[in-house]
Structure 1
């Protein structure tokens, strides 16, 4: 158990394990510990968004996750015991991503897959191992750990990543504030087998004057997860709640008949964002840095996005291809998104659970009547998909973003634009710096990229590229996490040289 490593990851949830996988793929020596003695069997996170599946292509995970998951084909609204609207989720983003659907994949199964991939990569999750504290040294950190057998030891690491959840020991040791609040209502989650129109494998949400409840189909029919709220309870009462105590009216209004209860748990939901995501050689990712309501299925996916963002940057610095300043861009890019997400999900959840006449009219009248109309408006469908799928996320104002070419800015996600001549997402499966040109690349650019071992991918111009916002013959420098760093109308290698030099980055 004693020894050193490049990166010590604390917390073996999806965020921590994805970070460890990404680092290991880049040749980084990584350890991952978790205070729990066993992997979790309960899970609240369900949705795997399209952007996560895109990034999972770099780890060879997408196919397995899709095969083991369940595609939700529709989103349904109920009110006053009646089905009011259905919004089709089938191919909702068919021109935007290879993963134009909402995938349901329970977190416990998700974690088992990630842990098996880590084991195959030679990294074992060290269960029952607790971080007692750490000190920062000039060239790394000294972390004090207590193993499952009670013995204490020191791990010397170059960097420390706190992926250890809302009660993060890493965040506590960093001395970073975690401002925000706690929702008054208690959430519950239940895995059930049952029958009724809302047990058809789709997503169903009930809005009425009673407690909020949503049904997430876990398979084609008959199995679902219920997520709902109970009106304000004391902590003692909340801990003692049973499934029989939750609102049967809310569940019954969805037409759900519960035949078997497989699992039930209650929890409080917070809305908080850490004041900083970095302090020296320590970083926060996932719930350790931001927590919010489950509205929109964003939490786990945001943590996985943190992991990919931080992972390639740590790997570059450890390999000597970038200076320490690159690590500052992690907080610069991710903390703003976390704050906007917490604010958005807070407003959505507040509307969904608010009491009073105005809120009642919005939930039970306005939303159910508008939803069928919006479902037929292409712009509305695309906006909804881009927002929930996280494909809309960009880093335009970040320190690694420069230029505009066509409709795309530095900091934008590289759009999916497959043509008969090739799928531009195929090269993105390699987490490396690369240059894309759609049209023709000048010889000077080809020579410059070849001399620096910077992959250059040239795609013959096709109308699909124009539809995606790309500019013919322009140059797009793409980061290892598939975001555009530099967008330039002219495919001039001098622009690339300047971009790397200003930021002290190497193409190697």
Structure 2
């Protein structure tokens, strides 16, 4: 078997990589040792930034219609509500998806898999990765199916094979970090209680913490928390054993009617120090694992795949130099490292059971959180963080600006969200082609000969989008003509007040071929 890209692992990250490569017409093979998409719910939160990726794929409507919008975030202590934070459309004006959405990992996988099958693409299920070797021409992977070993030859490999990644082990990637002292449990249950279904509820106590997250179905919840220390060394624990502890922690009556999935596990926090080695690129849990605080894990993997896929496509289509692939680690590693620190802090606040930390959590944090969310200026900042729309590639080598205007956005930022009244469709839906877009902000259209000159300057197809200088742009500092080069993943590559052919060619020359060299 021969292909351009081999993807190992068909979880959300691997399936997103496959969908993105498919957009660019890149041939791929995707393998997984499972028999099909994940059945358990596992990760449940889908951030606004991930929904924007789904929007580009034409799938966001399905996700929103089948997900659950969380109305409020509630903190309980000793059976009493300490804070009710109304979520609603907390991110209004920042995205087409200004809410917190629960959409289970199993649903994400099924959606992405079905989207591949529409284009007659498939996953090689029940196929195990065995080993790999690399030379100057590509990668040869040994895989096993039905107890038979066979070869897959590929130019590049994306490793999405999870926290226990064989690829990461075989290539000796460093995987720095450790394991949390506590043990944790997770259960998907049907239950009855007095609280509304579409609320997220967290209940910390002196010794434990428990959280309730709504799943699809009126009484269906994900329950997770710290395992009581009395159970650390016990074997064959089931949810029935700890039901009383869960109820005691939140302090209100609950009738657990049915348990659909239960697991006890240790949590790790680890990250590689480079996402890439030669022709191999890691993504998702194979590159970074951390606590579930903030619902960031699955979403980060989706965005890893989003980043590496378009870069591989441009290299394989002979439009970009292989050096472009170095920007994958440059851009994604800092986010993974930030995420480790962010989730560690959040998780330690909620789970640390030493005397001081427990009292601090119970008497300070619980009361402080509710007050913080009452400040209107704080709410959008928190939403930007949790939704991942804040993250940028400012100062990275693909980001360049020569604009003299005092803009409130920069090269490397996610493209600003615009919601002008004249738009007949969401602004981001103007940027769905699998290529770069050149956004021309001006009240005068480009002349036809200028359009042709622009298209001839770029070594790849480019879509030109004309957009007037509306009040929305003026509020962002755009007071005159501006050219915004938008990457295929909707981050800003380049900003200029003029279209200067020589400047554009100089910008492109580092990572892209000129037209004469294609």
Larger CA deviation: 63-72 vs 325-334: 63-72
Alpha carbon RMSD of aligned pairs, Å? 2.1
Alignment of 1:69-108 (within 5 A): 69-108=67-106
Looking at structure 1, the residues matched to 36 and 52 of structure 2 have their Cα atoms a distance apart, in angstroms, of: 29
Q: Deviations over 1:238-276 (max 9, x none)?
A: x62211233634434253332222221122211000122
Is the counterpart of residue 240 in structure 1 residue 236 in structure 2?
Answer: yes
Larger CA deviation: 259-268 vs 245-254: 245-254
Looking at structure 1, the residues matched to 120 and 66 of structure 2 have their Cα atoms a distance apart, in angstroms, of: 23
Whether the 8 Å CA contact 1:206–1:250 is kept in 2: the answer is no
Looking at structure 2, the residues matched to 436 and 254 of structure 1 have their Cα atoms a distance apart, in angstroms, of: 55
What is the CA-CA distance between 1:445 and the residue it aligns to?
5.3
Is the counterpart of residue 446 in structure 1 residue 451 in structure 2?
Answer: yes
Whether the 8 Å CA contact 1:210–1:247 is kept in 2: the answer is no
Whether the 8 Å CA contact 2:178–2:270 is kept in 1: the answer is yes
Q: Deviations over 1:453-479 (max 9, x none)?
A: 422212111122234565542221110
What is the CA-CA distance between 1:111 and the residue it aligns to?
1.2
Q: 1:197 aligns with which of 194, 197, 218?
A: 194
Whether the 8 Å CA contact 2:140–2:154 is kept in 1: the answer is yes
Alignment of 1:332-347 (within 5 A): 332-347=330-345
Q: 2:430 aligns with which of 420, 427, 434?
A: 427
Q: Which residue of 2 aligns with 1:271?
A: 269
Q: 2:286 aligns with which of 285, 288, 291?
A: 288
Q: Deviations over 1:411-433 (max 9, x none)?
A: 11001112133343122222311
Q: 2:165 aligns with which of 164, 168, 172?
A: 168
Whether the 8 Å CA contact 2:415–2:492 is kept in 1: the answer is yes
Alignment of 1:324-335 (within 5 A): 324-335=322-333
Looking at structure 1, the residues matched to 479 and 494 of structure 2 have their Cα atoms a distance apart, in angstroms, of: 13
What is the CA-CA distance between 1:281 and the residue it aligns to?
0.5
Q: 1:251 aligns with which of 247, 253, 258?
A: 247
Looking at structure 1, the residues matched to 194 and 391 of structure 2 have their Cα atoms a distance apart, in angstroms, of: 35
What is the CA-CA distance between 1:124 and the residue it aligns to?
1.5
Structure 1's 260 and 135: CA in aligned 2 closer, same or farther, altered over 3 A? same
Larger CA deviation: 165-174 vs 115-124: 115-124
Whether the 8 Å CA contact 1:421–1:459 is kept in 2: the answer is no
Is the counterpart of residue 180 in structure 1 residue 188 in structure 2?
Answer: no
SS in 2 for 1:171: helix
TM-score by length of 1: 0.94
Is the counterpart of residue 373 in structure 1 residue 371 in structure 2?
Answer: yes
TM-score by length of 2: 0.92
Larger CA deviation: 444-453 vs 420-429: 444-453
Structure 1's 114 and 156: CA in aligned 2 closer, same or farther, altered over 3 A? same
Structure 1's 360 and 457: CA in aligned 2 closer, same or farther, altered over 3 A? same
Q: Which residue of 1 aligns with 2:154?
A: 157
Larger CA deviation: 11-20 vs 125-134: 125-134
Q: Deviations over 1:363-417 (max 9, x none)?
A: 2222332233322322210111000000001111321011265011111100111
SS in 2 for 1:127: coil
Structure 1's 505 and 300: CA in aligned 2 closer, same or farther, altered over 3 A? farther
SS in 1 for 2:293: coil
Whether the 8 Å CA contact 2:93–2:419 is kept in 1: the answer is no
Q: Which residue of 1 aligns with 2:122?
A: 124
Alignment of 1:343-354 (within 5 A): 343-354=341-352
Q: Which residue of 2 aligns with 1:206?
A: 203
Q: Which residue of 1 aligns with 2:385?
A: 387
SS in 1 for 2:350: helix
Whether the 8 Å CA contact 1:445–1:493 is kept in 2: the answer is no
Whether the 8 Å CA contact 1:192–1:259 is kept in 2: the answer is yes
Q: Which residues of structure 1 form unaligned runs of 5+?
A: none
Whether the 8 Å CA contact 2:505–2:514 is kept in 1: the answer is no
SS in 1 for 2:223: strand
Looking at structure 2, the residues matched to 397 and 232 of structure 1 have their Cα atoms a distance apart, in angstroms, of: 46
Larger CA deviation: 243-252 vs 380-389: 243-252
Q: 1:482 aligns with which of 475, 485, 490?
A: 490
Looking at structure 2, the residues matched to 121 and 505 of structure 1 have their Cα atoms a distance apart, in angstroms, of: 30
Q: Deviations over 1:195-254 (max 9, x none)?
A: 2234522100001113111101124742211111114589863x6221123363443425
The alignment of Structure 1 onto Structure 2 pairs a total of residues equal to 504
Looking at structure 1, the residues matched to 437 and 286 of structure 2 have their Cα atoms a distance apart, in angstroms, of: 32
What is the CA-CA distance between 1:154 and the residue it aligns to?
0.6
Larger CA deviation: 170-179 vs 160-169: 170-179
